[in-house]
Chain A
Amino acid sequence: DTAVSQTPKYLVTQMGNDKSIKCEQNLGHDTMYWYKQDSKKFLKIMFSYNNKELIINETVPNRFSPKSPDKAHLNLHINSLELGDSAVYFCASSQGIPRDYEQYFGPGTRLTVT
């Protein structure tokens, strides 16, 4: 059973396109996150949702729009893709307060913008 899944695993697209990455967790967690890992392997939080509500938005460009249709899903839509958006995007989930200990990560989506 996959705890946190992401689709697609690889995404290659051209500048200016719009693309979406989907994330689903079957752990019953309340909180979900998007992280970006750049080419130097640095991981940085982008967004966090708790029970479908946006909690954290770390000064990410407006071209990035997260959407949480329900507690188990957090999708990431990116408009007008730029070369600098090339990275690995990780979805994660956690139980939330007060047991916000472990965050379980998805397998990552490697986005390449050409």
Chain B
Amino acid sequence: AQKITQTQPGMFVQEKEAVTLDCTYDTSDPSYGLFWYKQPSSGEMIFLIYQGSYDQQNATEGRYSLNFQKARKSANLVISASQLGDSAMYFCAMRGLNAGGTSYGKLTFGQGTILTVHP
């Protein structure tokens, strides 16, 4: 079984500052992928960043970076230089591989963190 925990129901950040959104996970799968999605108030789910469990380097995508600490089972999202448009709900998710080493992509989501960026 897989579990994703996001302990911050809400976060506030000043525009242009950096913010870290926490995510911890639990899995018995030998390898797995970790994802972050953004859900603005309009409701769509927007893929932000992906980290594979065997990737040596932390993933980065523009202003988004994933602080992956495998031993601590954490995959925090760092948003640098926050913008007003970053205000949204953010979901951490995980996809594991089964015993055969394959997966059909089932994502397990955390509870989400609402980020509010202040001007």
Contacts and interface: CB of A to CB of B under 8 A. Distances in A.
B64 interface: no
Contacts of B93: 43
Contact of A31 (B39, B44, B50, B105): B105
Chain A interface mostly: strand
Given A42-B111, A45-B106, 11 more contacts: A33-B105, A43-B91, A43-B109, A44-B109, A45-B107, A45-B108, A56-B106, A96-B105, A97-B104, A107-B43, A107-B44
| Chain A interface residue bracket vs B | 20 to 34
Interface of B: 33, 35, 37, 39, 43-47, 50, 89, 91, 93, 95, 102-109, 111-112
Contact of A50 (B39, B47, B104, B111): B104
Interface in A34-92: 35, 40-45, 48, 50, 55-56, 58, 88, 90, 92
Given A105-B44, A105-B45, A108-B44, A100 B105 contact: yes
B104 A31 contact: yes
Interface of A: 31, 33, 35, 40-45, 48, 50, 55-56, 58, 88, 90, 92, 94, 96-97, 100-108, 110
A42 B39 CA distance: 12
Chain B interface mostly: strand
Contacts of B44: 105-108
Contacts of A103: 35, 47, 105, 107
Contact of A97 (B43, B46, B89, B103): B103
